[in-house]
Amino acid sequence: MALGANWILNLLFATPYLLGGQCVAEVPPGPLSGAFFYGVQTLSTVGFGHLYPTSLYGNVVTTLEIVVGMFFTAVVTGPIFVRFSRPVARVL
């Protein structure tokens, strides 16, 4: 489930990057792949350093993507933690 949602988030954030023109360095305007892979790097916090926002618009969209990514990670990891941290009573 989380992997599929990450793909959807990356595709959703690739659209504003494309609409912003040249708002990310080294990403040519037009092809979806450059904006998509910048979103993957941003959402996963890898950040290779080659791609970076070059305008206020790019910085705002990148910041929004980071906040959404952190929220998504918290929402996904919370139930997983709860599932595996349930106490088990073992009274003899």
Give me the DSSP letters along the chain: -HHHHHHHHHHHHHHHHHHTSS-BTT--SS-HHHHHHHHHHHHTT---SSS-B-SHHHHHHHHHHHHHHHHHHHHHHHHHHHHHT-------
Q: What pLDDT is attached to residue 63?
A: 92
Give the residue from 29, 37, 42, 44 showing the smallest Cα distance to 11.
37
Does the structure show a pLDDT above 70 at 2?
no
Does the structure show a pLDDT above 60 at 82?
yes
Query: What's the pLDDT band for 3 if we cut at 50, 70, 90?
Result: low
Distance CA(70)–CA(24), nearest Å, equals: 21
Query: What's the pLDDT band for 59 if we cut at 50, 70, 90?
Result: very high
Q: Which of 32-36, 42-46, 83-87, 88-92 has the highest mean pLDDT?
A: 32-36
Q: What pLDDT is attached to residue 64?
A: 92
Does the structure show a pLDDT above 80 at 8?
yes
Mean pLDDT, residues 55-72: 90
**Structural domains for the chain:** 2-84 (1.10.287.70)
